[in-house]
Amino acid sequence: MNPEAFEKKARERGFSRIAGVDEAGRGPLAGPVVAAAVILPEKVNLAHLDDSKKLSPQRREELFVAIYDRALSIGIGIIDPVEIDRTDILRASLLSMRIAVDNLRQEPDYLLIDGIFPIESSVPQEIVKHGDGRCVSIAAASIIAKVTRDRLMVIYDREFPEFGFARHKGYGTKAHRAAIRTFGCCPIHRKTFRGVKEYIKLNNA
C-alpha cells in the first residue's frame, strides 16, 4: 500500500475531512452487513494496516483499538437480514455505507468508497476498486466494519449456539451448511440466499 496516496491527492484538491468507507459481510448466509466510515488525521501511523481479510483476528483487534484511538471520527452502518432479503445484498451494502457516512460526528467533505459502485450522498466521492488494500482510510474502515460485524456474530452465537456463528461468522462453511440442513434457518439467516432458502420450511423461521 502506498500510504495515504489517495488522501494526499484529495488534500491537494482542497479537501480536508476525507472519509474512507467500506463494508463487511456481503457473502455470508446469516447476519447483517456492516459498514464503517473513518476519517483519519493527516499524519497517522498505523503499523500493519491492510485489507482486513489479509490480517489475523488478533491483528484486526489490535488495529481496531488503535484506529478508534486515533481517528477523528468513525461512523457505523448496519443493515439486518430482513432488509437484505427485502431488497438485495448490493443495495443493502450501499445503504449501510451511506448510513455509516451519515453517522460520522464530523461531517466529511470527501469520500473514498471501496468497490465499483458509488453511494447515495451529496458529498464528493471517489470509487476505489480494491481500495481496502490500496487506501489507508478504506483499510481502516474495512477493519472497523469487519471487527464490528464479527463481534455481533459472537453475540448471535449465544442466542443460536447450534449454528456455530462465533466460529464462521455466518459464512457458508461446511459445518454451517450442515447445521442449516439439520436445524433449518434461524431469524438472522438470509432467507433469499442459496443455501438457506431451500431449508426454510424445516422450522418455518
> What does the pLDDT look like over 129-147, one tens digit per residue?
999 899 999 999 999 999 9
* Residue 92 amino acid letter: A
- The three grid cell numbers given for residue 69, joined into one nine-digit string: 484511538
Chain segment 24-60, per-residue pLDDT in tens: 999 999 999 999 999 999 988 887 787 788 889 999 9
Instruction: Reply yes or no on whether the pLDDT at 20 is more than 60.
Output: yes
Sorted by where each starts, the structural domains of the chain and their CATH numbers stand as 5-159 (3.30.420.10)
Strands 73-79 and 33-39: antiparallel
1 neighbors 136 (Cβ within 8 angstroms): yes
Helix (H) or strand (E) holding 38: strand 33-39
Residues in Cβ contact with 112 at an 8 Å cutoff, skipping those fewer than 6 apart: 6, 7, 10, 18, 19, 20, 21, 125, 126, 128, 131, 135, 137, 138
182 neighbors 195 (Cβ within 8 angstroms): no
What pLDDT does residue 205 have? 43
Residues in Cβ contact with 15 at an 8 Å cutoff, skipping those fewer than 6 apart: 109, 110, 124
| Residue 26, helix vs strand vs coil | coil
Chain segment 50-84, per-residue pLDDT in tens: 778 888 999 999 999 999 999 999 999 999 999 99
pLDDT above 90 as % of the chain: 86
In what side-by-side order are the strands of the sheet with 73-79? Answer: 73-79, 33-39, 18-24, 110-114, 125-128
Global pTM reads: 0.94
160 neighbors 178 (Cβ within 8 angstroms): no
Rounded CA gap, 115 and 113, in Å?
6
